[in-house]
Structure 1
Amino acid sequence: MFSFLKSFTKFEKIILLTILVVYIHNLFLDIMAVDAAQYAGISAEMAQTNSYLEVKEFGKDYLDKPPLLFWLSSTSIKIFGSSNFAYKLPSFLFLLFSLYALYRFCILYYTPKIAKYALFILATSQAYFLMTNDVRTDAILTSCVMVSCWLFGLYFSFGKIKHLIFASAFIGLAMLAKGPIGLVAILFPIGIHLIYKKQWRHLFSFQWLLAVLVVALVLFPMSYGLYHQFDLQPDKITNGIKGQKGLYFYYWLQSFGRITGENIWNNNTPWHFFIGTSLWDFFPWFFPLLFAVYFKIKQLFFDKKASPEIISFVGFTALFFFLSLSKYKLPHYVFVTFPFAAILVGEYLSKISMKSMKNWIVVNVSFGYIVLILLIIYPILFFKENYFLLIILILIQIFILFFFRKKSEDFIIQYISPILILNVLMSFLFYPKLVTFQSDAMAAKWIRENHPSEKVVLYNKSSHLFNFYSQNSFTKVIGKEELKNCNEKTWIYINEEELKDIEDSNLKIISKKAFNQYRITILKLNFLLENKRKDVLNYRYLIQIDQ
């Protein structure tokens, strides 16, 4: 499996190793609210209750995301214990497999040079660094889509049934990861490819019946669980709606309902929302991607023989368009298109002239100077951190900027180095400091470290982060009337407004521990600037009261 690395130079292997180190370090960073914290909480609860076919959240029926992430992460938690690493590990392994599948896909249809470019492009995209840290369902979906497309390519090239079976299994896994979008993301580009190449024998083969059977078998456990949890109980109220049908919700409403309008979720995002978010999420490759799409369109219309496959083109453009039609959009929804985008950019960069290549290098070297400036001002404006590591990063960036600036053959290091150094900075310095502003996690850790045997309750609302880091999926939630039952050995977790209510009552606070709170997934300049941060921080507290 690792034999393909023999074609990489020593310096390219160092770059791959550096990327891997950042990925692995991200596994140990605290989970970020809101979505990742919710999924981690559900996974930990599943590991505790062994309720795999009927997914629960705080002991209540859960009907939203498919269960594959929960199944894998809960199994990992059972093996390694409840931790950041255990929750993130399965998604990380899937992402590594997607990079391997991408490389093999490009070897199948293109050249080793394009395969190498595509691998580096995808591995250094901001989305891949993010998916190893802020783990949601997209990492597994993205991997399953890429792996399935590669296996279908093998099946069309060599006709082996085993490739069809495994490709179909990954369709099922993609659907278990994020619903019917997994089916569309694979079969639509595959189908258009077969039509474009006039491969009618594959398109109308009876062997597709075998594929349907394999997909159905993979989906059966989840479908069985949904049917028993919801469809057989028409009087059950879930998400405020009576008689929710689990199978209909999963196979239609949750995905296609966002396009048709049947799904009530609507965040009023414009059609061009993903174009704006991809500037960062596919950074630093977004602008080369625009040229790559134009290059591919010209190729498809004027030089069809030069295009060995159009899976990547359709996989990126059509999916990006379909997802843009959704009434509810979040930036990570288009991550599934990025492996296809990496192939397009890799092919484009391998075929442009050396003059054009130098132009792209100039653009990214300019970004390298921006990174250098950021490294210098970072400890002054943002967080006072490890100066030794900062100095090392600054020296590396200076070395790269001046030593490689005239060597056009060193394209990989010239273009990749700034974003790689930036992510080393973020992974080792920025994120570790940032997650300390998640009060739920910090409070739960403080209790475990300092008062592990004492009782703790949550006031008025539950918290996935608190439950995950306290390693108790069922931390009790109390209301105002239950405060009288709390003695001096009970810790109560509350926010600022609730603290004022207690201070204004007849209850006496005998212990109080404050924790900084900020929603770290929505960063604003006043928070990043250390001298203004206190103006935007909220606080939450652990208190003990005396009746």
Structure 2
Amino acid sequence: MKINLTTTTSFYILYFLIAIVYTAGLFIPVMESDSAQHATMAMRMVLNNDFIHLYKGVDPYLDKPHMHFWLAAISMKIFGINHVAYRIPALLFTLLGAYSCYRLFNDLYKNKSFSHAAAAIFLTSQTIILANHDVRTDAVLTGAVIFSIWQLNSYLQRQSYKSIILGALGSAIAFSTKGHLGIFVIGLSILCQIIYTKNYKPLISLKTLVGLGFFVLGITPVLYAFYIQFDLHPEIMINETNNHSGLKFILWDHSFNRMAAKDFQKSNDNFFFFHSLLWVFFPWSIAYYIGTFETIQKIVKRKKLIEILSIGGSFITLVLISFSKSKLPHYLNSLIPLMSIFVAGYFLSLKQLNKTKTINFFLGLSYFIAVISCLAIIGLYLIRFNTTISVTTITGTLILVGLSIILISQTTTKSSKLIITSCVATILLNFNLNTYFYPNLLKYQSGESIANYIHNNTNLNHLPIHQFNNEYKWSLDFYLQKNIDVIQLENSKFPITPFLSVTNNYEELKPKLNMLGFKSEIIQTFKDYKVSRLSLKFLNSNKRDSQLEKSFLIKVYK
């Protein structure tokens, strides 16, 4: 019997396949540097039982707000200090984002089948899968943004207190996670929909003021924490200056500093986000570009659209942030739910208008993506590590392939088939990334290896460990479950010896220690590589050694 993609059964199968990928991602070690850094910052809150002050290593942290760190710390309080616990809040907010995509699409288009498609497109977008194992602030931000947009759009339709309050609290979480970016995306999306539908009445309602009050209430904990840490302590030095106001920073400076790339790496490529979207929103980026072009044509010709919320919120933001001097691919993450809703709506319109040629084009594109993904998987297997492909990877891949073939073959409509084919292509690729490539790649970042070596040697694990001159290895702190102190050689203030330290510059460090009257010896040497900056030479096992650094676990004593 044929099973159409629009049936509940087929979507349950698809969600099951997606769940396998996300579950596999939970068990990957934390990646240097941002993910491991954020995990360590949350861990410090747990170890110090201090949820007010944010520190990056030993330095006060005046950058991203607290919400992501609070949620990760609470999770580690409950489940222990480990990388699975660190990732749980990100996964929960991603699930909230998927559910919000489903509900918002159904509110806009009144079509449950393609509401599932919107959620599946969101969950299979490359950057969303990546954000759930290389966890930073973006997963929480993304889930909060689309949840808020769903609730505020519901408020526009129904004017209920529940919707405006939940929408306001969602906006507060977005602000408390990454500042103004989330608020901008939320506000722009809702504003576009209000202007297009000419539904201005909710703006002048008392309920809107109630929502504003809940938003202010929702951001108060973050404002209070910044005030306590910085406004009450003007003596704190940040980038060799003092008198920093935490309130002024989060309410004003944070976003504008990023736009001007103050203290951030600058990029003058105004098309950076447009070409980054090709992989960030893979495998749906081409559909987004084509659908956007056709929708703009409809707007120019004044043809009626079902909604403008998704294209307005995503494309206008995409254009505006392209003028920012600070650009990184994950800045796009909060736009992915809107893009997913837009693409699902575009595919629905193709089906309803019976645009066979366009549907056939995207079906062919989905098959091409599937082939590319299979070739990429073979390419992963050709990247030789000092291990064999695990039984888990092989067995899991075979099961996924079998279920995917059944699902695709039993899908009757072309519009459904093109969606499910692209979904399973991404699922297969990321399952192999999460179970084979990343676990083997991360063996080359030395922090976890050193921590395990210390834990497994009883003659070492009782010794204190300190770092020299900010040679941070965040994963070392995290897997040792310690806040490692930093020693500045210039100050010559040394703790009681003996103690352990880790350095990639032992040849330079040793004579400096000797001059200060301290001896040192190498306990063990580890291979080290900045895994976030992959190169072709590293991927080539014959040339890999030339790309590796050495990390030295040393003992310092009198």
Change (3 A) 1:484 1:341: closer
Match of 2:88 in 1: 89
Q: Tell me, what secondary structure is at the counterpart of 1:513?
A: strand
Q: CA deviation at 1:365?
A: 1.6
Q: CA deviation at 1:115?
A: 1.1
Q: CA deviation at 1:176?
A: 0.1
Q: CA deviation at 1:236?
A: 3.2
Q: CA deviation at 1:251?
A: 1.1
Q: Tell me, what secondary structure is at the counterpart of 1:410?
A: helix
Q: CA deviation at 1:230?
A: 2.0
Distance 1:402 1:99 in 2: 24
Q: Please, which of 516, 519, 525 is the counterpart of residue 536 of structure 2?
A: 525
**Mapped contact 2:464–2:500 kept (Cα < 8 A):** yes
Match of 1:208 in 2: 208
Distance 2:54 2:408 in 1: 53
Q: Tell me, what secondary structure is at the counterpart of 1:90?
A: helix
Q: CA deviation at 1:65?
A: 0.4
| TM-score normalised according to structure 2 size | 0.89
Deviations 1:394-421 (A, max 9, x none): 7965996799589635333322222111
Match of 2:315 in 1: 317
Q: Tell me, what secondary structure is at the counterpart of 1:522?
A: coil
Match of 2:168 in 1: 168
Q: Is residue 2:180 matched to residue 1:180?
A: yes
Match of 1:515 in 2: 526
Change (3 A) 1:380 1:411: closer
**Mapped contact 1:114–1:343 kept (Cα < 8 A):** no
Q: Is residue 2:463 matched to residue 1:454?
A: yes
Match of 1:491 in 2: 500
Q: Is residue 2:551 matched to residue 1:540?
A: yes
Deviations 1:72-99 (A, max 9, x none): 1111111111110111111110110010
**Mapped contact 2:7–2:113 kept (Cα < 8 A):** no
Distance 1:414 1:162 in 2: 38
Q: Tell me, what secondary structure is at the counterpart of 1:254?
A: helix
Q: CA deviation at 1:54?
A: 2.8
Q: Please say which of residues 359-368 and 60-69 is displaced more in the overlay.
A: 359-368
Change (3 A) 1:211 1:268: same
Distance 1:296 1:430 in 2: 39
Q: Please say which of residues 308-317 and 128-137 is displaced more in the overlay.
A: 308-317
Match of 1:295 in 2: 294
Distance 1:48 1:398 in 2: 46
Q: Please, which of 436, 450, 453 is the counterpart of residue 429 of structure 1?
A: 436
Q: CA deviation at 1:503?
A: 8.0
**Mapped contact 2:189–2:312 kept (Cα < 8 A):** yes
Q: CA deviation at 1:129?
A: 0.6
Letter in 1 for 2:115: A
Distance 2:284 2:301 in 1: 25
Distance 1:456 1:66 in 2: 29
Q: CA deviation at 1:382?
A: 3.4
Match of 1:382 in 2: 384
**Mapped contact 1:376–1:394 kept (Cα < 8 A):** no
Q: Tell me, what secondary structure is at the counterpart of 1:132?
A: coil
Q: Tell me, what secondary structure is at the counterpart of 2:448?
A: helix
1:240-255 map, 5 Å: 240-255=240-255
Q: Please say which of residues 341-350 and 455-464 is displaced more in the overlay.
A: 455-464
Match of 1:365 in 2: 367
Match of 1:339 in 2: 337
Distance 2:191 2:379 in 1: 51
Deviations 1:162-219 (A, max 9, x none): 1111111111111001002222111122122112211121233233221221111111
| TM-score normalised according to structure 1 size | 0.91
**Mapped contact 1:145–1:185 kept (Cα < 8 A):** yes
Q: Tell me, what secondary structure is at the counterpart of 1:238?
A: coil
Q: CA deviation at 1:434?
A: 1.1
**Mapped contact 2:138–2:334 kept (Cα < 8 A):** yes
Distance 1:96 1:253 in 2: 32
Q: Relative contact order (alpha carbons < 8 A, sep ≥ 6): 1 or 2 greater?
A: 2
Distance 1:377 1:26 in 2: 20
Letter in 2 for 1:386: I
**Mapped contact 2:146–2:337 kept (Cα < 8 A):** yes
Q: CA deviation at 1:525?
A: 0.8
**Mapped contact 1:268–1:327 kept (Cα < 8 A):** yes
Match of 1:467 in 2: 477
Match of 2:225 in 1: 225
Distance 2:474 2:299 in 1: 49
Q: Please, which of 304, 328, 338 is the counterpart of residue 330 of structure 1?
A: 328
Change (3 A) 1:331 1:170: same
Distance 1:189 1:369 in 2: 36
Letter in 2 for 1:466: L
Q: CA deviation at 1:443?
A: 0.8
1:132-147 map, 5 Å: 132-147=132-147
1:254-293 map, 5 Å: 254-259=254-259, 261=260, 263-293=262-292
Letter in 2 for 1:213: G
Q: Please say which of residues 326-335 and 381-390 is displaced more in the overlay.
A: 381-390
Deviations 1:16-40 (A, max 9, x none): 1121121122122111111112211
1:50-61 map, 5 Å: 50-61=49-60
**Mapped contact 2:60–2:238 kept (Cα < 8 A):** yes
Q: Tell me, what secondary structure is at the counterpart of 1:207?
A: helix
**Mapped contact 1:503–1:509 kept (Cα < 8 A):** no
Deviations 1:405-446 (A, max 9, x none): 896353333222221110010001011111111112221222
**Mapped contact 1:36–1:136 kept (Cα < 8 A):** yes
Q: Tell me, what secondary structure is at the counterpart of 1:542?
A: strand
Q: CA deviation at 1:543?
A: 2.5
**Mapped contact 1:230–1:245 kept (Cα < 8 A):** yes
Gaps of 5+ in 2: none
Q: CA deviation at 1:238?
A: 2.1
Change (3 A) 1:402 1:11: closer
What percent identity do the matched residue pairs reach?
28
Change (3 A) 1:236 1:493: closer
**Mapped contact 2:374–2:429 kept (Cα < 8 A):** no
Q: CA deviation at 1:299?
A: 3.4
Q: Tell me, what secondary structure is at the counterpart of 2:552?
A: strand
RMSD: 2.7
Distance 2:495 2:97 in 1: 54
**Mapped contact 2:513–2:520 kept (Cα < 8 A):** no
Match of 1:19 in 2: 18
Tell me the matched-pair count.
Answer: 537
Deviations 1:304-327 (A, max 9, x none): 54x232111111012112221211
Q: Please say which of residues 17-26 and 140-149 is displaced more in the overlay.
A: 17-26
Distance 1:181 1:153 in 2: 19
Change (3 A) 1:270 1:374: closer
Letter in 1 for 2:306: P
**Mapped contact 1:253–1:262 kept (Cα < 8 A):** no
Letter in 2 for 1:534: D
Q: Tell me, what secondary structure is at the counterpart of 1:450?
A: coil
Match of 1:3 in 2: none
Q: Tell me, what secondary structure is at the counterpart of 1:516?
A: strand
Q: Please say which of residues 457-466 and 59-68 is displaced more in the overlay.
A: 457-466
Distance 1:39 1:517 in 2: 20
Change (3 A) 1:302 1:437: same
Change (3 A) 1:227 1:262: farther
Match of 1:415 in 2: 422
